[in-house]
Amino acid sequence: MMLNLNKNKISLVLFLTIIMFASRGSHFLTEFSVPDASLIIFLTLGIFCPSFILFTLFFILGTLIDFGTPAFDLTKASYLTDGYWGLIPAYYLMFVCGQLIKSKNLLNNINLFVMILLGSTTLAFIISTNTYYMFSGHFGNPSLLESILQGWNYYPGYLIPNIIYGLIFYGIYKLNIKKYFLKLI
């Protein structure tokens, strides 16, 4: 899709950029630590700014933050392996689910929104965690089943913040700011 940005979409993109910086990179830019909001950022882009160009630019931004983080803390370089590239399909899944939410007008139904949020976050977890376990080189050469079994220990810590972010997004959308969001669509 074309990159069609009006003033409201530019504001949203700038806001999402700030959230990306504040929640990524092991928080070298912040005094406090908040969970990574990247999944919800890509979901939001899919809903309100469904441009593949923006998807690509936000993935590049996240990658620059991730690869820049070791300059501040070398202990954070261990996740920058071949398994890192599993984030591309995980984030794209969220982006496409955002497009689905928009195309089917599912923001008007919290039950369907939460089901898609839960399902897409779970699939993104499976993709990103298993590509890390299988291709990072930190775990030998695990089978798919072994990587799934090891990775599930991290599922609650992955799922809960993303569900909370998704519900915050939904709450903001449903409140007075809904009028602002409708201008984005």
The Cα–Cα gap between 109 and 176 comes to 17
Specify the CATH number for 7-184; select among 1.10.1760, 1.10.3470, 3.40.50, 3.50.50. Answer: 1.10.1760
- Domain range summary for the chain, segments of one domain joined by +: 7-184
- Phi, psi angles (nearest 5°) of residue 150: -70, -40
pLDDT in tens, 64-84: 888 876 565 555 555 667 878
Helix (H) or strand (E) segment spanning residue 84: none
What average pLDDT does the segment 4-20 reach? Answer: 88
pTM, two decimal places: 0.87
The Cα–Cα gap between 11 and 14 comes to 5
pLDDT in tens, 82-122: 878 899 999 999 999 999 999 999 998 999 999 999 999 99
The answer to whether the beta carbons of residues 126 and 93 sit under 8 Å apart is no
The three-state DSSP-derived secondary structure of 123-170 is HHHHHHHHHHHHHCCCCCCCCHHHHHHHHHHHHHHHHHHHHHHHHHHH
